[in-house]
């Protein structure tokens, strides 16, 4: 049983290899188009948070089962997490929902915060959600999207941000959605300083540690 558990999942390995094969040509194409620019590799994902409680395991005495009264309420927000896995850097946004117009605003804000410019090109990895892959999506200049394979929730590095951001929400009652927003925003600011923690959660073994530009032939 232990030997089988230690064996990598073939499907997961194939999916990761597929991302790597798509990633290298895109990075090289960006580097070739902007030879004087630095290229950074980021990832993004969204999570829905709200007044319906997040329940997690708790310590209790042997033979007892903890009981917690829960008031289910359905006011939601969307937490958007951008992460640079190799550096552990994060950028966070809170939105009222998910939609194509909201994504355009989020991408524009991300591009400004991350410093996208003629001298800094950003490759952004994201999943194939409908509003992500819409042909109508207006992508900011100097940001280049790379889509992960469909039905591969284990591949997005930004998915691993949620256990870190949820720690202040779990097993907790919030009177209003505004109170939840304040607590979540404070946690996100804290995580922006925890580079090693974020890196340990999001830097997958197949994710590039350093992007290398292909050197052209030298002139003589």
Q: Return the domain boundaries, the chain.
A: 36-57+73-202
Rg (C-alpha) for the chain, rounded Å, is 20
Q: What is the pLDDT of residue 1?
A: 34
54 DSSP 8-state letter: B
Query: Any bridge partners for residue 16, and if so which?
Result: none
Rounded to 5°, angle at Cα 24 from 20 and 26:
115
The reported pTM is: 0.84
Rounded Cα gap, residues 42 and 84, in angstroms: 5
In residues, how long is the chain?
220
Strands (DSSP E) along the chain, which ranges?
38-50, 76-84, 89-95, 120-126, 143-147
Q: What is the pLDDT along the chain (220 residues), one digit of tens a residue?
A: 333 333 445 555 666 766 777 787 888 889 889 999 999 999 999 999 999 888 888 788 888 887 777 777 889 999 999 999 999 999 999 999 999 999 999 999 999 999 999 999 999 999 988 899 899 999 999 999 999 887 788 889 999 999 999 999 998 889 999 999 999 999 999 999 999 999 999 999 889 887 765 554 444 3
* CATH among 3.40.50.10470, 3.30.420.10, 3.40.190.150, 3.40.50.150 for 36-57+73-202: 3.30.420.10
The residue among 42, 6, 78, 26 whose CA lies nearest residue 202 is 42
Q: What is the pLDDT of residue 22?
A: 78
């Amino acid at each position: 049983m232990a030997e089988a558990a230690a064996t990598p999942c073939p499907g997961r390995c194939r999916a990761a290899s597929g991302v790597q094969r798509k990633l290298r040509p895109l990075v090289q194409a960006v580097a070739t188009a902007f030879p004087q620019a630095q290229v950074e590799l980021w990832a993004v994902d969204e999570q829905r948070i709200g007044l319906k409680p997040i329940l997690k395991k708790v310590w209790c005495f042997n033979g007892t089962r903890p009981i917690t009264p829960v008031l289910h309420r359905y006011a939601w927000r969307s937490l958007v997490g951008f992460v640079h896995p190799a550096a552990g850097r994060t950028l966070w946004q809170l939105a009222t929902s998910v939609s194509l117009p909201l994504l355009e605003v989020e991408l524009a804000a991300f591009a400004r915060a991350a410093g996208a410019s003629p001298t800094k090109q950003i490759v952004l990895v994201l999943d194939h959600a409908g509003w992500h892959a819409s042909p109508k999506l207006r992508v900011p200049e100097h940001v280049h999207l790379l889509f992960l394979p469909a039905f591969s929730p284990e591949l997005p590095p930004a998915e691993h941000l949620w256990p870190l951001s949820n720690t202040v929400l779990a097993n907790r009652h919030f009177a209003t959605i505004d109170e939840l927003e304040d607590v979540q925003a404070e946690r996100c600011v804290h995580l922006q300083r925890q580079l090693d923690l974020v890196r340990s959660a999001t830097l997958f073994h197949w994710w590039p540690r350093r992007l290398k530009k292909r050197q052209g032939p030298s002139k003589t």
